[in-house]
Structure 1
């Protein structure tokens, strides 16, 4: 239902005529688009990072090579944490 151009959060069931309440939280479309942009850009840069790490790791040995090979892992973990942070932030509103 609409009041003054805004949704009241009430759904009318057309088959039974009953009224049921929607979830009280609204999802902000701008935040969803922002997270999608971050993911698309982040995942687009991932192959560049993988190539750079593989090229640099070829000339290293031992612990330096191991640490350098972990950079893509931490990059992906950071992207996942950004999405989780967004999901937790939107559910708390």
Structure 2
């Protein structure tokens, strides 16, 4: 483990959270939920672990089936991202 690896993981989590934030505010009602193929998420272990981290922190909610994963940013995720960007 090195500093570069840690920075890449932090950047990935931030990128995923920003993507969910933008999706949330560009869409209405149920369309605010981002639907993805579960296989696309688990195909890359770094992405899978990044989403798991965001869910465990309470920044993202997810519902998964064997084929579809549905994600949405939470109010805590919105607050974190906005305070991080403004500071």
Output the TM-score relative to the length of structure 2. Answer: 0.35
Structure of larger gyration radius? 1
Question: Which TM-score applies when normalising by structure 1?
Answer: 0.33
Bigger relative contact order (CA 8 A; separation at least 6): 2
Structure (1 or 2) with the greater strand fraction: 2
